[in-house]
Amino acid sequence: MTNIILALTGSVASIKLKDLIKNLKSINDKINLILICTQNSKHFIQNEIVKTSEKVKLNGFELDIKWSCYEVPLFDDEIEWTSWNNRNDPVIHIELRKWADLILIAPLDANTLAKISNGICDNLLTSLIRAWDIKKPQLCAPAMNTFMYEHPHTAKHLKILEEELNFIVIPPKVKLLACGDYGIGAMEEPNIIGEKVKLMLNI
């Protein structure tokens, strides 16, 4: 089995979650998928989050999962903190690091990009990235307004991800953006992202 983490951050492109999951699951029938949502990403997918009482095994630990999307277990900042009470309890970002073969951050917003490039680890996703084995595949698909994407900080941050952290950056597209502007900044299409993931896994 191949274990993939799909992480959503606070970009309107999070509304493409269903298609992202569909394309990742279609790679083959041996894909295990876990979804990580930052708090801001939930704003865009709140109607797709389903309450559940699922038990998920993660490296021998049995976790109570409260939420899912399209039958994929959802991990968030709450489970990072509530799963640990005593020594030998799971530290979720570490267990996810051990479990996953690949992580895809799609969409990657400007805020999370800045955090990762500066080593900040103040939520589940950024803590996972800070602990990640950079020899394992990491992909990201930036998505933001044109003005944000063309800001000098963005180029600097993406360079750090590519050159120091070994990320594969899937560039955004030029199109009509959610804000009404036309320009670069739209996340690449889910089917193209799925093909990039497949290529990285050599499947």
Task: Return d(Cα 71, Cα 167) in angstroms, integer.
Answer: 28
User: Does 180 map to a domain?
Assistant: yes
> Is 138 among the domain residues?
yes
What pLDDT, on the 0 to 100 scale, is given for residue 13? 97
pLDDT above 90 for 83:
no
Has residue 63 been placed in a domain? no
Cα separations (Å) of 64 from 41, 74, 95, 109, 167?
21, 11, 15, 29, 31
Q: Which of 37, 69, 140, 179 is catalytic?
A: 179
Average pLDDT over every residue of 183-200:
97
| Residue 179: CATH number of its domain | 3.40.50.1950
Mean pLDDT of the chain, nearest integer:
95
* Spatial distance between the Cα atoms of 42 and 50, rounded to a whole number of angstroms: 12
Put simply, whether the predicted model's pTM sits higher than 0.85 gets the answer yes
Tell me what pLDDT residue 11 has: 97
Find the domain containing 102 and state its range: 2-44+91-201
61 in any annotated domain: no
Told to judge if 140 belongs to the known catalytic residues of this protein, a careful annotator would answer no
Domain membership of residue 148 (yes or no) is yes
Q: With respect to residue 151, please indicate whether it lies within any of the assigned structural domains.
A: yes
Does residue 86 lie in a domain region? no
Domain count, the chain: 1
In whole angstroms, give the CA distance from residue 26 to residue 18: 12
Residue 6 near residue 106, CB atoms below 8 Å:
yes
- 100-151 pLDDT tens trace: 999 999 999 999 999 999 999 999 999 999 999 999 999 999 999 999 999 9
Query: Residue 75 falls within a domain, yes or no?
Result: no
Note the pLDDT of residue 75.
96
